Chains A and B, each alone.
Chain A
């Protein structure tokens, strides 16, 4: 069931923030578990097509760390980890995270809020990036920013821009 209000919202706030809002047809306790129990996280936070999350370690307490490693069918790995700052189950989690490749130019701070109403739960994730440039690059389409483009896509984009 995916009612119109379950639409994903991704918006910019302030200079360095991105806010992601999504409502789920489930009570908060279940949604919180799905975000924090490794066995459950591994089933949905798998990233783009062809990727899985073979490593998912979560020590859910203030000062506790977490570690995710994604892997694609070609064997390429992408790791990310961080530290929990605040845990207020099942309302709120604040953590810091950093990808091994550090494409975000330093740590990002992430606040996740879980709000239940009428048996449904709205999750609001606020990500604070290290700079406005990084934030904007995350939000803009690859065509605009040039970030995150594989060689093929980049070539196509440049060719079409040159053809204008």
Chain B
């Protein structure tokens, strides 16, 4: 999968409340399909279908050995998106607050050092 396809798969997988609930359960520890189906009052095939989507997105892995094949949460795809976007709005509010301060300084500088390109008076002194 390309990074773009991987992100699409991650977001699509997270768009469903049942799948988020399954991830929430798995965040507490491994669980079998049967154990996952129980609290959601869902059939095993229904849970399996959701698990397939989560597996495809790389958010869940299943152990191969044991008969019960417990499911496990995989956090890497989520971590990929980094701290950076934790709160997009807050990030820009912080950036722009600093820019406000900088602009005040620039305005003060401009006031004390008039620009040389400032148009000189149009009225000609005639002595």
Contact = CB atoms under 8 A, between A and B. Distances in A.
A94 to B, nearest CB: 19
Interface stretch (B17-25, B45-53, B119-127): B17-25
Interface string B71-98: 0000100111111111111111111111
B24 A30 contact: no
A26 B106 contact: yes
Contact of B82 (A25, A27, A145, A148): A148
Given A105-B8, A148-B81, A24 B103 contact: yes
Contact of A44 (B2, B91, B95): B95
A103 B96 contact: no
Given A34-B106, A148-B84, A162 B27 contact: yes
A34 B102 contact: yes
A158 B98 contact: no
Interface in B14-51: 14, 20-21, 23-25, 27-28
Interface residues on B, range: 35 or more
A73 to B, nearest CB: 12
Contacts of A99: 84
A48 interface: yes
Interface stretch (A56-64, A84-92, A109-117, A127-135): A127-135
A105 B88 CA distance: 17
Given A2-B100, A8-B89, A158-B23, 4 more contacts: A8-B92, A103-B80, A133-B8, A161-B24
Interface of A: 1-2, 6, 8, 10, 20, 22, 24-27, 30-31, 33-34, 40, 43-49, 78, 99, 101-106, 130-131, 133-134, 136-139, 141-142, 145-151, 153-155, 158-159, 161-162
